[in-house]
Amino acid sequence: MKLIVLGSGTGVPSLERNAPGYYLQVLDRECLVDCGSGTLLQLERMGRSCQHIDAVFITHTHPDHIGDLIPLIHALKVIPGFRREKVLSLFGPPGFKQFFDNYIATVASLPKHFGVEIQEVDRVFEYAGVHCQCVPTVHSESLHSVAYRFEVGGRTVVLSGDCDYDEGIIQHSSQADLLVLDCSFINAHKYPGHCSAGECGRIAAKAGVKRLLLTHLYPVHGAEDSRLGEARAEYGGDVRLAEDLMEIEV
Ligand SMILES: [Zn+2]
Ligand SMILES: [Zn+2]
Report the alpha-carbon distance of residue 222 to residue 241 in Å, rounded: 13
Domain count across the chain: 1
Predicted confidence at residue 122, as pLDDT, reads: 81
In sequence order, which residues have a C-beta less than 8 Å from that of residue 189 and are 6 or more positions away? 196, 220, 223
* Residue 221 confidence (pLDDT): 75
Which CATH number do you get for residue 205? Answer: 3.60.15.10
Size of the chain in residues: 250
101 CA → ligand 1 middle, Å? 22
- Distance from the alpha carbon of residue 72 to the mean position of ligand 2, in angstroms: 20
80 CA from centroid of ligand 1 (Å): 33
Query: Any idea which ligand is nearest the CA of 143?
Result: 2
DSSP structure string for 43-82 = HHHTT--GGG--EEE-S---HHHHTTHHHHHHHHHHSTT-
Asked if residue 126 lies in contact with residue 89, where contact means CB atoms within 8 angstroms, the answer is: no
Q: What confidence score (pLDDT) does residue 223 get?
A: 80
For the chain, list residues with pLDDT below 50: none
Q: pLDDT tens digits for 40-86? A: 999 999 999 999 999 999 999 999 999 999 999 999 999 999 999 99
Q: What is the pLDDT of residue 185?
A: 95
CA–centroid distance, residue 156 to ligand 1 (Å): 23
**What is the reported pLDDT for 17?**
97
How far is it, in rounded angstroms, from Cα 104 to Cα 70? 6
Query: Domain of 126?
Result: 2-249
Ligand in closest contact with the CA of 138: 2
Q: How far is the CA of 230 from the centre of ligand 1 (A)?
A: 21
pLDDT of residue 1: 97
Which-ligand-closest: CA of 37?
A: 1
Structure confidence at residue 244 (pLDDT): 98
